[in-house]
Structure formats: C-alpha cells, structure tokens
C-alpha cells in the first residue's frame, strides 16, 4: 500500500458504507459481474444482503422496501444484461409510481470495454463478452446498450470510470445517485464495472448526504407566484376541501396538523391512502379520484368553493378523467381547484399551468407562512359532522343472500373494513378485480394501502410485500401486513413466498383463488382459455414445498363461505401475526365487484350505490 493509499478504502466498501446511511437491507441476485462487489458488503455489518429468487422480484421487493424505509430509499444489485434487463419492468414501475430505488448493476470490466473501443473489428469479433448482446450492424459490442435501455426509467445514470478512481470522484457519483433517487422520487442507476470493487479510492465517510434538497429556503419566481396565489385563495375561501395526494408523503404529520387546525374537509387519493393523512380524522371525507370517486365523495367535494389538490400525482387511476362524464366536466370547468404537484402547479383545471417549481418547497413555505387567523372558520351542520366518512356503501350486506357454499368478494371487502383491519395495518393489494374495491374500504388509524394501480404490473404485490415486511422489521416497526393477492397474479412471482420463510416475515396473505384472471374476464373473454391458469395450484401445500414442511413458520386456512371467514376472523384475523397466514379464499371466477364494473363502464356509479 503506497502512502497515498492510507486514507483510501476499497470502492465496494465505500459504496456499501454510503448505502448504510439510508438502508439496512440490499436486495438482488448474485452474478459473475457483481460477485467482487458483493464480497465487500460483508465489510459493512450494518447492511444485510437479501438474495431474491430473480431480478424482477428483487426490483419489486426493493420498491416495497422503499415505501416503508424512513429514509425513502432502497437498493437492488443485479448483474450485467441478464440481470438488469430482468429487473427493468420493476424499475419502470417504480418510475411510473414515483418510488426511490437505486439499481446498482455489476457491468462489464473496464479492461473489456477498452478492447471493444480500441481494437479493430476482428479483435472485437474474437473478444466478445458474455451476457452482452452482439452489435446489430457491427462485430463490436456496445457496452452501454443496457444502460441506454434504462434511460427512460431513471432520474440518474452514471457509471464508475477509471478517471473517477484516479481523480477521487467515486464518492461523488455514489452520493449523487443516492441523493437523486431520494429527491426525485424516482429510480436511478449506478453501474459498477466488474473489475473495480477492490480498487482503493479516496472517501469522506462523515460527509452528510444531502437528501432533501427541496428544504432549501429560497423560492424561485414561479414558486413565489404559486405560493401567493394559493395563500390568497385560501384566505378568501369559506370552505376549502383539501386533497392530500402522494407527493405529500414526506409531510404527513404537518398535513395532519394543518387539517386539525383548519378543520378543512379532507380527502385522500388511491395513491396516498394512509400515506399523507390519517383516514380516521374527523374531517376526512373519503377517497377522491375524480370520475372514479365513490358517489358520496363526489357529492362532498362539489360543495367546496376551493379544492386544494396538493402533492398531486396525476394519472389515469388516481385522477380519472375521460372527458366523457358531463357532470364531472361541468364541475371541473367551474370549480376553483388548485393542483400542486411535484414539479408543477395548475390553477384551475387545465387553465394555468406553472412549471419549473418544487411543489414540496412551496408546500413547506405555505405551512410556514400560513396565517391561521386569516382563515375563515368553517361552520358545519350537525348532520354533516355526524355523517363522517363517505365511503360508498356498495356492500349492502343486509340485502345480499348469503350462500352457505360460496364466498363473495363483497363479503371479504366488508369484513376488512369492519373487522379485520386494525390500527397500523398495512394492506397491499395486487392489481386484481379487488383493487377496484379499495376506494370503499375503510382504513383504521395509521392504516395504509399500497397498490400499484397506475403502472399496474401484475405480480408486483407479492415481492413488494416481502420488502414492506423487511423494512418494518429492519426499522423495528410492528405493523401487521396484509396482502390481497389474486391467484392469477401470484403465478408471476410465486417463488418470492420463500423469502417470508427465510427472513421470518409474517404477513397475512389473503389468496383469492378465483381460478384465473378474473379482472380480465370482466373486460373481455370471460370464458376464453387464455384467462384460465396454468394449473390448479395447491395453496395449502405451497409453503411446505418451499421448505417449511413442519409448518414451523406458517399456518394455512381454506375459506369457502362467509361463516368460515367469520370463524377465521374471530379466532385469528384480528390478532398480531406470529406466523405467516396463508388464507385461501375460494371465490367464483365470475365474481366481479361493483368497483370494477363501474371502472369499466359496465355499471354506473349510481347503480353501485
């Protein structure tokens, strides 16, 4: 070791030291291009390697972890090409849904790159690197081909170079990657060539990470303009309604404080449920998602002279707007509504768009300067006060004919709202027919719903549940975790069940066995064979096959009617979970919920009431 190396540490160790500031678990799959890097993780005992079964599952798991991690961060490590491409769909999902995930890829060696760049074409032909596709019109392989494929799904993309190592800029790239994914709520990429993990590099381990750049005090002109517009409107309004959307997620306690002080009616959105406010607040009025809102919620929001839609994450599922609903069109055209998104504000629906702002910065300042004495006191009638949350009561259970030999999705939904869900429960829901019922499920205090409803990649929820459970365990939180899983989507990512066993994670898995893709049967092809499953899997035996043959770590339940469901609830369903519960719910394959039929336009919201 030369003198100049005294304060240097191996590059891989530096990477893991920095990661340990913002996470406790690192997900992924080993491969020959990342093995030397992975060896270094053992140098940083604060970090735990969590090996997934495949890379797509690793990306989903990381997504779930990031949503719970107090540092709003997660990391997965894959190998060149074969690994990183497999993960790509999961990364695109995190991009679409705004989740901070750092994807570290063990890429081709610096020395292999040098051959590809400097050699002649015949050298290139005989010097190919495995895992790397051949060039399309040349014998040269493009070592950046995979990096380019990920560009559209990342807010940061850098590769460690020889210059970084020589000039001491490795830590800048590592810190930059972590800071970018956190600040932008988006995935980012860091490529680590397979031959650099042991190189010694300069570092400053005590340098703080600058994760929340939007906390800076200086507003630009656009931000000032938005702030003043909002304050002005708020002071003039007699009865504002406040929609707390996804990008307020790092301001939850401030939001709750604001709503308690102002007594404004408030709403969550499908993307923000339990994330940005507590749905047991007295002034909480339900889940607002424009056209898709339960009828009562729409009736409520119409009464406000001002709607503050803050933290806005606008997309097809969280703010459904088809342009075809005349009642909604008329309302939007005349409603004083202000959107404050991550990077834009809009004053009036499709009226004035203001870009080049940080919504979080504006919101921070809004809270700082808001003069509560100028806010008009809201007088509510007793009837309004007592009405409480306006979930649509589409489950007219009293009117339903219970069937002794059958279980209905509506019964499950009803019991979740009324009996199963407990304070602090986190419920993940797979994109399934059931996902369209979520707006009607009542959340308990500190409860939360996670559903990838816009990107909507089925298979997401099971591995994401692994990540959620692992983050809770890592950060000593003891919330229960429930997973509402369809059997069709469970096929996609099934093997990740085994991680619950390996890491002693104990979710309640409500496996809705409805023999196929019921959500798609409702769209088209109700009886077409492509909506059937590959086989009748035995959910009672599955976790035994995954290694828990003595049922030390899991219990199984098979529920075929409402009575059996009620028995499970009274005996087990409301208690802390000390084993994984595999609760198989036998449902009919044509058991479409009202929510799904309304969404598809096959039933009107009025009929569903």
Is 38 a binding residue for a second copy by CB under 8 A? The answer is yes
Exposed e or buried b per residue across 217-256, where buried means at least 16 C-beta atoms within 10 angstroms of its C-beta: eebeebbebbbeebbebbeebeebbbbbbbbbbbbbeebb
Q: Which of 5, 7, 42, 445 binds a second copy (CB under 8 A)?
A: 42
Q: Cα separation of 397 and 110, whole Å?
A: 65
Site for a second copy in 76-135 (CB under 8 A): 81-82, 85-86, 88-89, 92-93, 95-96, 121-123, 125-134
Between 205 and 523, name the residue whose CB sits nearer to a second copy: 523
User: Which region among 17-25, 204-212, 344-352, 358-366 touches a second copy (by CB under 8 A)?
Assistant: 344-352
Q: Which residues are annotated as a binding site?
A: 487, 514, 516
Q: Cα separation of 50 and 470, whole Å?
A: 9
> Is-contact 277 256, C-beta < 8 A?
yes
Between 138 and 376, name the residue whose CB sits nearer to a second copy: 138
> Is-contact 145 133, C-beta < 8 A?
yes
Site for a second copy in 147-176 (CB under 8 A): 148-149, 152-153, 155
**Could you say which DSSP state residue 429 is in?**
E
Q: Cα separation of 358 and 223, whole Å?
A: 7
Site string for a second copy, 204-223 (x = CB under 8 A): --------------------
| Closest separation in Å from C-beta 575 to a second copy | 26
Between 324 and 382, name the residue whose CB sits nearer to a second copy: 324
User: Which region among 64-72, 212-220, 345-353, 565-573 touches a second copy (by CB under 8 A)?
Assistant: 345-353
Which pair of tokens denotes residue 506? 């104990």
| Closest separation in Å from C-beta 63 to a second copy | 13
| Rounded to 5°, angle at Cα 141 from 135 and 142 | 95
Q: Cα separation of 534 and 430, whole Å?
A: 19
Site for a second copy in 471-500 (CB under 8 A): 491-495, 498-499
| Closest separation in Å from C-beta 125 to a second copy | 5
Q: Work out the burial of residue 266: count CB atoms within 10 Å of its CB; fewer than 13 is exposed, 13-18 middle, 19 or more buried.
A: buried
Site for a second copy in 540-569 (CB under 8 A): 541-542, 544-549
| Closest separation in Å from C-beta 465 to a second copy | 15
Site string for a second copy, 502-541 (x = CB under 8 A): x--------------x--x--xxx--xxxxxxxxxxx--x
Q: Cα separation of 496 and 58, whole Å?
A: 9
* Strand 481-486, strand 284-287: pairing: unpaired
For 347-368, the DSSP string reads ETTTTEEEES--HHHHHHHHHH
| Closest separation in Å from C-beta 342 to a second copy | 10
Between 51 and 176, name the residue whose CB sits nearer to a second copy: 51
| Closest separation in Å from C-beta 89 to a second copy | 4
Which residues are registered as beta bridge partners of 242? 266, 308
Q: Which residues are annotated as a binding site for Mg(2+)?
A: 487, 514, 516
Site for a second copy in 301-330 (CB under 8 A): 314-317, 319, 321, 323
| Closest separation in Å from C-beta 79 to a second copy | 10
For 117-144, the DSSP string reads HHS-HHHHHTT--TTSPPPSSSSS--TT
Which pair of tokens denotes residue 24? 């406790």
Quickly tell me which residue has 């003595």 as its tokens. Answer: 550
| Closest separation in Å from C-beta 462 to a second copy | 12
- Counting residues that bind a second copy (by CB under 8 A) gives 98
Q: Which of 43, 142, 336, 393 binds a second copy (CB under 8 A)?
A: 142
């Amino acid at each position: 070791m030369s003198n100049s190396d005294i304060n240097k540490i191996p590059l891989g160790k530096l990477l893991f030291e920095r990661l340990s500031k913002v996470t406790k678990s690192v997900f992924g799959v080993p491969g020959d291009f990342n093995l030397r890097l992975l060896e270094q993780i053992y140098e940083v005992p604060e970090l735990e390697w969590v090996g997934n079964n495949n890379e797509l599952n690793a990306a989903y798991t990381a997504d779930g972890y990031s949503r719970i991690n107090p540092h709003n961060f997660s990391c997965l490590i894959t190998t060149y090409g074969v690994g990183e491409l497999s993960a790509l769909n999961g990364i695109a999902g995190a991009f679409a849904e705004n989740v901070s995930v750092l994807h570290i890829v063990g890429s081709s060696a610096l020395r292999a790159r040098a051959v590809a760049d400097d050699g002649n074409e015949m050298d290139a032909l005989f010097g190919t690197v495995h895992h790397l596709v051949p060039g399309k019109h040349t014998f040269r392989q493009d070592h950046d081909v995979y990096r380019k494929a990920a560009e559209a799904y990342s807010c940061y993309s850098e590769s460690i170079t020889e210059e970084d190592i020589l000039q001491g800029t490795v830590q800048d790239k590592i810190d930059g990657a972590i800071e970018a994914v956190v600040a932008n709520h988006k995935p980012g990429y860091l490529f680590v060539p397979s031959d650099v993990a042991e190189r010694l590099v300069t570092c400053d381990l005590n340098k703080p990470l600058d994760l929340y750049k939007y906390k800076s005090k200086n507003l630009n002109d656009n931000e000032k303009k938005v702030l003043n517009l909002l304050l002005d409107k708020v002071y003039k309004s007699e009865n504002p309604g406040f929609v707390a959307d996804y990008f307020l997620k790092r301001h939850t306690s401030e939001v709750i404080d604001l709503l308690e002080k102002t007594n404004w009616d408030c709403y969550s959105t499908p993307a923000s449920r339990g994330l940005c406010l507590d749905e047991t607040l007295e002034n909480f009025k339900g889940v607002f998602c424009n056209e898709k809102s339960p009828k009562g919620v729409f009736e409520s929001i119409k009464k406000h002279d001002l709607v503050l839609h803050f933290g806005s994450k606008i997309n097809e599922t969280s703010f459904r707007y088809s342009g075809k609903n005349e009642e909604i069109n008329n309302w939007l055209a005349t409603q004083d509504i202000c959107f404050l998104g991550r990077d834009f504000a809009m004053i009036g629906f499709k009226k004035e768009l203001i870009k080049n702002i940080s919504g979080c910065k504006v919101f921070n300042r809004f809270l700082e300067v808001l003069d509560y004495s100028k806010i008009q006191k809201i007088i509510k009638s007793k009837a309004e006060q007592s009405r409480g949350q306006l979930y649509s009561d589409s489950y007219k259970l009293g009117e339903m004919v219970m069937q002794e030999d059958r279980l209905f999705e509506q019964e499950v939904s009803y019991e979740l709202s009324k009996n199963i869900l407990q304070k602090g429960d986190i419920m993940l829901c797979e994109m399934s027919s059931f996902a369209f019922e979520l707006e009607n499920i009542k959340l308990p205090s500190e409860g939360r719903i996670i559903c990838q409803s816009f990107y909507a990649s089925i298979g997401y929820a099971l591995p994401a549940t692994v990540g959620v459970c692992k983050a809770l365990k890592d950060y000593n939180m003891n919330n229960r975790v429930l997973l509402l899983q369809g059997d069709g989507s469970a096929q996609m990512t099934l093997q990740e069940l085994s991680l619950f066993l390996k890491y002693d994670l104990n979710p309640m898995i409500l496996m809705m066995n409805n023999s196929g893709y019921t959500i798609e049967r409702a769209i088209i092809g109700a009886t077409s064979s492509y909506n059937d499953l590959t086989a009748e899997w035995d959910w009672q035996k599955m976790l035994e096959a995954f290694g828990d043959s003595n049922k030390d770590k899991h219990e199984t339940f098979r529920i075929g009617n409402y009575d059996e469901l009620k028995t499970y609830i009274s005996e087990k369903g409301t208690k802390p979970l000390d084993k994984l519960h595999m609760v198989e719910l036998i449902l009919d394959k044509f058991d479409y919920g009202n929510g799904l039929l309304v969404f598809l336009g096959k039933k009107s919201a009025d009929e569903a009431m």
